[in-house]
Structure 1
């Protein structure tokens, strides 16, 4: 097995564990460069190179900045590191992006040119489905098809409603943290509403939805507030949830909720990209 294959094997192990990182790959190298095409490196969120080699300090700063930005917005980047005079001939300045390429200046005496593909490897977004109603089951099935890592959160007696989910929790006590984005959908429909909502709102999440009418949601929120649940946590609850597509069937309701989640998630990533 080659060293590059070793890097890819390590990257796969990290992905299976849900650890965020960046995989940087040299895709082009001209003149005198330390690293050659195919060279790879793993960059951690703290800005350190875990494994691999993609060149000297002339490329390090540009690649680390690209890695940081990629982890923030989830977008891959192509970095071209070139001497200043070649950048001038192209009519681009160091730090400028043009036609999808981010340019950086190589100040080393080697005057080499190198293109590096920077690819973020982020944990899959997690979907916690609380309840075993037909809408909950349909939500779990559709979320899995959309790439979410789905966890069914229901009492032991109702677990059989979810034959193919990745993870299971008996009851509604969710883990306090997740390695990546976390989305929670509560669709208990009268069976454990209070407990499921309290469990969903007790933890941090990017999105918490309750499948119910506005009247029922407000009544349950008032009850939870009386029990001491902070107003800021209650304010995070989306109810009724989903985009209004005049949904009727459980599958249509699940589609409306997942559509809202996808729109919310993509807008968040796009916002990070603008901030970068």
Structure 2
């Protein structure tokens, strides 16, 4: 049975690796990770590590590594479909029914994910260039140094009306896909679609798996219509059902049972 990538990502988002692994391995906290004795070799010094943020485990004694599916396959001898079924039951997720329509939908969603990732990389690169100087100055003024900028993948959308559109068109992205991803402004009265985000500091918004699904843009000029501008609703982004930085905070929230929610990006 073939499983849609979005379903597998949802399973990984719902089940921390440490929760799955500790059923077989006694884990101890080690900084941001967990460690324990290898389930594959006989050892006295722990060399088996679990990183929930990376959604992966690493066994340095045997040279093996993987995700939650790989762990069940390696420790219980399950097939991949059996591992998925077991974990879906643990997560309380019903197994999806495959059809040509759902497969086509998954391909479509993958295309949107791809252009949004390309857009994030474009904005990141623009922040480091000469025309991103004002955006860098704003971020430094707000106390967001280089390490924070890289960690949260902050970027800059140039003021040119077609900067992103042309850059991604050169990578094979169509205007229709860019518009559906919320990156272009379109309409019956708009002859040529243009970039939604212009002259703004860019904050990528990610899903629980860390994939970029939308953006928030902070204007650098004072006389603009909207100080903050978010992506519109898209097949991947539903503003009311998503928290900014959830993919980074989910591990700490899971461990402490507490979530601190604030307004805005900074």
Q: Do both proteins adopt the same fold according to a TM-score greater than 0.5, normalized to the shorter chain? A: no
Q: Rg larger in 1 or in 2?
A: 1
Hey, which of these two has a bigger chunk of strand by percent? 1
**TM-score scaled by length of structure 2:** 0.29
